[in-house]
Amino acid sequence: MTQAKHNVVIFLGPPGAGKGTQAERLAQDKDLVKISTGDILRDHVTRGTELGQQVKPILDAGQLVPDEILIALIRDKLAGMDQVRVIFDGFPRTTAQAQELDMLLEELGAPVSAVPLLDVPDDVLIGRIVERGRQASARGEAVRSDDTEEVARRRQEIYREQTQPLIDYYSARGNLYRVNGVGSMDEVYGRIQGGLN
């Protein structure tokens, strides 16, 4: 199996499903660049850039940042690459974003190759998010402003309304596969890898 087989991977799944962690590991293994829109936006907030100031209240409330902002961010990221070998974590989150991404990737000649969907039951998700906040705090790290139970619940709702339709969108293209996201990090990673071949 050559590395060239999977050049564009999209991780789908609700907040707290483990997309970031798993995407990071896969990126290292396959020598892909992980693009996490949440990380990019949080970095802008931390640096206090104009964009950061604009999106901070949206992130704090657990709402989605407008599509145009995300699309411009991604367009920028991809434009700076010699070859497109990427894993998306947290993007796309709406049908409009997915359609724009398809057009962009078509221009670049690098279509989506695999879409692992991490399946985790709702009650487990909220527990994981709250625990993530608790652990960051125990390590003396900054706690994400949206890792509170109330905002976590809103993020799940928004996922169901706005992002879940992407499951059908990518199923119809034949590159989505479901992964049971409950288990150890290694177990889940093994399932993700199994689905890639």
Residues that bind ligand AMP (CB under 6 A): 15, 37-38, 41, 58-59, 62-65, 70, 90-93, 97, 146, 155
> Among this protein's residues, is 155 annotated catalytic?
yes
Give the nearest distance from C-beta 70 to ligand AMP in angstroms: 5
Give the nearest distance from C-beta 3 to ligand AMP in angstroms: 26
Strands (E), the chain: 8-11, 33-36, 86-89, 115-119, 176-180
Give the nearest distance from C-beta 4 to ligand AMP in angstroms: 26
Give the nearest distance from C-beta 110 to ligand AMP in angstroms: 19
Residue 70 vs 188, nearer CB to ligand AMP = 70
Residue 57 vs 190, nearer CB to ligand AMP = 57
Asked if 113 and 5 count as a contact pair (C-beta separation under 8 A), the reply is: yes
Residue 64 vs 188, nearer CB to ligand AMP = 64
Question: Which three-class secondary structure state does DSSP give residue 148?
Answer: coil
- 84, 54, 47: which is closest to 70 by C-alpha? 54
> Among this protein's residues, is 154 annotated catalytic?
no
Distance from the first to the final alpha carbon of the chain: 8
CB atoms within 10 A of CB 41: 22
Catalytic hit among 30, 132, 153, 154: 132
Asked if 104 and 96 count as a contact pair (C-beta separation under 8 A), the reply is: no
> Among this protein's residues, is 128 annotated catalytic?
no
Q: Which residue numbers are catalytic?
A: 19, 93, 132, 144, 155
